[in-house]
Amino acid sequence: MTFTRACAFVVGFCVSASALAQTDADYVKEFHKIHPKTANPPTLTDYANVGRYDRLYMRPAELDEAIKKIDSTNGGPLAWGTSYRMQSLNQMFRVTGDIKYLAANLRFTRAILDNRDDRKHIKTYNGEVLPAWSAGTYSSRGRSVFLVHTGMILYPMLDAAMLAQSTSLEKDFASLVPAMMESLHAHDREWRDGPAKDEGHFIGVNEEPTMDGHPQPFNRLSAIGRAMWVAAEVTGNKELRRRCIAMGWYIKHRLPIADDGAYYWKYRLDEEPTTQPTTRLKTSAGEDSSHAALSISFPIMLARSGEVFTADDIQRFAKTYENGVARLGGGIVFGDICGNPKSRIDHIGSPAKWLVLAEDDPAIVDRILPYFLNFCPTPTPLDLSALIAFQHPPKK
C-alpha cells in the first residue's frame, strides 16, 4: 500500500434544519458507498502501532522513490502531501525517540530546499524568482507563490530542526535553518499590523486576484503561523513571536461562538471582529473539515504555550467536531464543520488531527476512532502517527 492509496480526503455549506433532517440519510448512504464498513474491525493497538507505520511508510525503496519525486514536484503537492508525511515522521520521533525518523526528514528537507524556485531558476507569472515553491494550478494569473504552501512546507522542517537539538543530527539541521528562514521571510511584505492595536495578519499578494490586499483565510494564517511559532523557538526571534501572538488575537476576535458552545466559522473569516453569537445552522458557509483541521492547529499551539487561546477555546473547537463534523457519531464524518449533509465526502480530511483535543475533551475520541476502525482500512502517514501518539501521550 503506497502513501497515495491510503485513506485521505481534503467546501461544504450549511443549510436549514428541515434540509438537514431530509438529507442526513442520503449523506450516510453515499458515505458508505465510498467507505464500506470493515468486516472485522481491528482493535486500536492492532490498527495503529509503530511496526505498522514502519511497514507502510519506512521501507527504504519507497522512501527513496518519494524523495526522488520531489525534484519534479511543485508547491501544491509538497504542501498538501509531502509536508504531512514529514509531520508524521516528527510525530514518530516524539513517540519513539528513534533518530531514524529525523534522518528520513533530513533527506526530505534537503531535497525540498534544493527544489526551491530560486535554486531551479523558476519564475512566477510576474517574473519574480523567490526562495519558495511556486505552483501553477491555483491562480488564474499563472504560476504563483502561496503563503499557505510556504507555511505548510516549512513547518515540519523547522519542527524537525527543533527536535534534532541535542541529537546527532543537530548540526545537519542547524545548517539548513538559514535557508528555511529565507523562505519564511519571503512573505514579510505581506504582513500587516492591525486593524486593532493587538492584532496582525497577512494579506494576499500576487496569489489569486480575489485575494489581493485582503486578509488571508483562517487556514492559511494557521499554516504560516505554525511555521513562524516554531521558527521563533528555533532562532529566538522575538518579532516572529510577537507577530504570532498578534495573529492569534486577530483570529480569536473573528471566531463566532454558537449557542451550543462551539466555534463555527467560514472559510474566510469576516474582516471585522465578531459581535453577534451564531448557531450551527446560521453559518452560511462552514469551512470544509479538511482545512478546518489545519485552521485550529495554530490556535491549539498558542493555547498549549499559554498565549491568546485558553482551555475554554479548546473546548469550543472540540464541540465543533462533536456537534458538527461528526455529529451523527458511529464514525460518520461530514465534509464541513457544520455537519452539512450536502458537504463533499472527499473533504473530510484527516480526522485524527482533531485527536489533539482529547486531552481537554475526552468525549471527542468516540467521534474519531470509529471512522478509522470501521471505515478506513489503511490510514495516511499523518493519521497513523497521530493515532499512535494518542496511545502514547507525553509524560507530564
Number of domains in the chain: 2
What is the grid cell recorded at 86?
514529514
Pick from 359, 355, 344: which is nearest to 384 by CA? 355
Cell numbers 463534523 correspond to: 325
Same domain, 98 and 223: yes
Point out which residues pair with 192 in neighbouring strands. Answer: 201
Domain CATH number, residue 205: 1.50.10.20
Domain for residue 396, yes or no? no
Cell numbers 470544509 correspond to: 288
Q: Give me the tens of pLDDT residue by residue for the chain, a chain 396 residues long.
A: 444 446 643 333 344 444 443 689 999 999 999 999 999 999 999 999 999 999 999 999 999 999 999 988 889 999 999 999 999 999 999 999 999 999 999 999 999 999 999 999 999 999 999 999 999 999 999 999 999 999 999 999 999 999 999 999 999 999 999 999 999 999 999 999 999 999 999 999 999 999 999 999 999 999 999 999 999 999 999 999 999 999 999 999 999 999 999 999 999 999 999 877 777 766 557 999 999 999 999 999 999 999 999 999 999 999 999 999 999 999 999 999 999 999 999 999 999 999 999 999 999 999 999 999 999 999 999 999 999 999 998 776
Domain for residue 131, yes or no? yes
What is the grid cell recorded at 172?
545537519
SS (H, E, C) 280-337: CCCCCCECEHHHHHHHHHHHHHHHHCCCCCCHHHHHHHHHHHHHHHCCCCCCCCCCEC
Amino acid 17: pLDDT: 43
Amino acid 275: pLDDT: 77
Q: Which residues contact 18 (CB under 8 A, 6 or more apart)?
A: none
Amino acid 277: pLDDT: 75
Among 238, 253, 268, the domain boundary falls at 253
Domain with 152 in it: 73-253
Domain for residue 77, yes or no? yes
Amino acid 284: pLDDT: 55
Among 227, 253, 279, the domain boundary falls at 253
Phi and psi at residue 162, in whole multiples of 5°? -70, -45
Domain for residue 67, yes or no? no
Amino acid 72: pLDDT: 81
Q: What is the rounded CA–CA span in Å between residue 119 and residue 113?
A: 8
Among 253, 280, 314, the domain boundary falls at 253
